[in-house]
């Protein structure tokens, strides 16, 4: 090979060395898109798996019996934990499941956040009769022993009750909760009404003093309650 031929080859080899290992812009963007899609897929999978709960803090022990109301302050059916085990469990399980759904489903329904609110509503303003007339059903959770209402792991103190001479400490104790149940597709508002009782021997008011508002998916609970009422009729 002549010297001139050598000189002609060297620039070509130099260019090849400089361009070797470089990635084209098209390949680079394709890699970035694949990474982003992979991360997005992981997030979606996690949100589909991770549960979202709308439940409030209920007593650890189950109610002694459940009362099912429909457009009346008189129960259509009463389900005892021991003697009506199958129907009781059907309604109780549906009640607990009504506060659960995946985070992904909650996101699609714009219900990912859940701010449970506790509101004092007075001592003689909200009766069972009015609650039943405003909702499809009311589920009564009835406990034999006095229970303490908790919020964020601590006994809930109602500041408004401290002004009443009967409730000086403001701690809310109860034996019965009324829960609103409605036949609505998707997430709906759920209200718990608390009947305040001051001691094991004191009588129970016919009015609620506290309203706790959260969210739930109640279609299965509606079915369970309707079936139980029909079964007990």
Contact between 37 and 83 (Cβ < 8 Å): no
Two tokens, residue 101: 């759904």
The sign of the torsion formed by the CA atoms of 180, 214, 91, 109 equals positive
DSSP E strands, the chain: 51-53, 65-69, 77-80, 100-102, 117-120, 126-127, 137-148, 150-151, 154-155, 173-181, 188-196, 207-208, 210-216
Domain ranges for the chain, please list them: 3-49, 52-232
Contact between 187 and 217 (Cβ < 8 Å): yes
Give the chain's end-to-end CA distance (angstroms, integer): 108
DSSP string spanning 200-231?
Answer: TTSPPPSEE-EEEEEEE--HHHHHHHHHHHHH
DSSP string spanning 16-44?
Answer: HHHHTTPPPHHHHHHHHHHHHHHHHHHHH
Q: Distance between CA 105 and CA 117 in Å, rounded?
A: 22
Q: Distance between CA 87 and CA 227 in Å, rounded?
A: 9
pLDDT of residue 126: 87
Residues in the chain: 233
Residue 207: count other Cβ atoms within 10 Å of its Cβ.
Answer: 17
pLDDT of residue 54: 79
Q: Distance between CA 200 and CA 105 in Å, rounded?
A: 42
| pLDDT mean by block of 10 residues, the chain; 233 residues | 50 49 66 65 49 80 96 95 96 94 47 74 85 96 94 90 69 93 92 80 69 93 97 89
Q: pTM for this structure?
A: 0.73
């Amino acid at each position: 090979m002549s010297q001139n031929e050598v000189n002609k080859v060297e620039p070509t080899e130099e260019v090849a060395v400089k361009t070797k290992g470089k990635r084209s812009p098209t390949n680079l963007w394709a890699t970035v898109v694949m990474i982003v899609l992979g991360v997005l897929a992981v997030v979606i999978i996690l949100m589909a798996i991770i549960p979202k709960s709308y439940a409030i803090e209920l007593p650890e022990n189950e109610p002694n019996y459940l009362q099912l109301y429909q457009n009346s302050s008189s129960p259509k059916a009463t389900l005892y934990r021991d003697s009506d085990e199958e129907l009781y469990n059907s309604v109780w399980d549906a009640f607990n499941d009504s506060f659960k759904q995946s985070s992904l489903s909650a996101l699609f329904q714009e219900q990912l956040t859940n701010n449970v609110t506790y509101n004092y509503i007075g001592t003689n303003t909200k009766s069972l009769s009015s609650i039943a007339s405003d909702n499809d059903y009311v589920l009564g959770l009835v406990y034999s022993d006095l229970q303490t209402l908790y919020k964020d792991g601590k006994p809930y103190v109602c500041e408004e009750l401290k002004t009443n001479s009967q409730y000086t400490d403001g701690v809310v104790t109860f034996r019965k909760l009324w829960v609103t149940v409605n036949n609505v597709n998707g997430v709906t508002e759920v209200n718990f009404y608390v009947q305040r009782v001051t001691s094991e021997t004191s009588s129970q008011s016919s009015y609620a003093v506290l309203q706790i508002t959260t969210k739930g998916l109640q279609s299965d609970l509606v079915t369970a309650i309707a079936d139980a009422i029909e079964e007990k009729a």
